[in-house]
Structure 1
């Protein structure tokens, strides 16, 4: 990890892959990840950790399955939202967005039950714990 300031716009400009987060830095046992997103991710859940989202550019929608039913939150540029642990959710962006996330190091992008997809994840979704950011 770099011990120099990192410009988020430059970090985001350094890759094109969608739904394939890059680890910008670490804070204690958490990764700070940036990603470009467009279209829909998959429904997934993180049983043991919350997931923090900050929309750097564009608009992100997060569909949530909660005990009282389903709802969708809309996050315009500059908005933050935390998905509580144990909440099934599906991020999406119709016209594309750039996001920043905080997640414990080693957290898989498709949640704790990746095996439920039977290895049949959509081609555009990267099941990863994050990729190192190549210096912009």
Structure 2
């Protein structure tokens, strides 16, 4: 076991979040982390070369922008998978709450380093 809990109160997990774009790991399932995050504004264009990334919108609306002027708009209850290696940029025009499911090795902003980038250690804190 990873030292993470088996059961999580998701509302309480969101209540503990203070900063936007600062995901927190809440549980681990095999080699996958389940994270919660509050989003507002844009993150950064990036890709995860080796990992798919699952977004589940709990509250608000999230737009995932892709190259070639394509985007996907997600509302509460929507799930979307960003395939590995695909350049994307998450955008939340108003505060949005999401659950992320991704391999434990996934770097927050993939192949790009920004002041908003959070290490795995930061996400486990």
2:8 match: 6
Residue 131 of structure 1 and its aligned partner are, at CA, apart by 1.7
For residues 27 and 71 of structure 1, what CA distance do their matches in structure 2 show?
31
1:105 aligns with 2:104: yes
Of 20, 24, 27, the residue aligned with 2:26 is 24
User: Which contiguous aligned blocks of 4+ residues in structure 1 show a shift greater than 3 angstroms?
Assistant: none
Can you give the 5+ residue segments of structure 2 that lack an aligned partner in the other structure? Answer: none
Structure 1, unmatched stretches of 5+, are none
Partner-residue secondary structure (3-state), 2:8 = coil
Secondary structure in 1 matching 2:108: coil
Structure number with greater Rg is: 1
In 2, the alpha carbon distance for the partners of 1:48 and 1:17 equals 27
Residues 58-94 of structure 1 deviation map (CA, whole Å, 9 limit, x = unaligned)? 10110012xxx23111000110000111110000100
User: What residue in structure 1 maps to residue 124 of structure 2?
Assistant: 132
Instruction: Report the Cα offset of residue 132 of structure 1.
Output: 2.4
Given the two structures, how large is their TM-score scaled by the length of structure 1?
A: 0.83
Specify the alignment match of 1:76 in structure 2.
75
Counterpart CA distance in 1 for 2:21 and 2:103 is 18
Contact (CA 8 Å) 1:20, 1:128: kept in 2 or not? Answer: no
Separation (CA, whole Å) in 2 of partners of 1:91 and 1:21: 13
| CA-based RMSD | 1.4
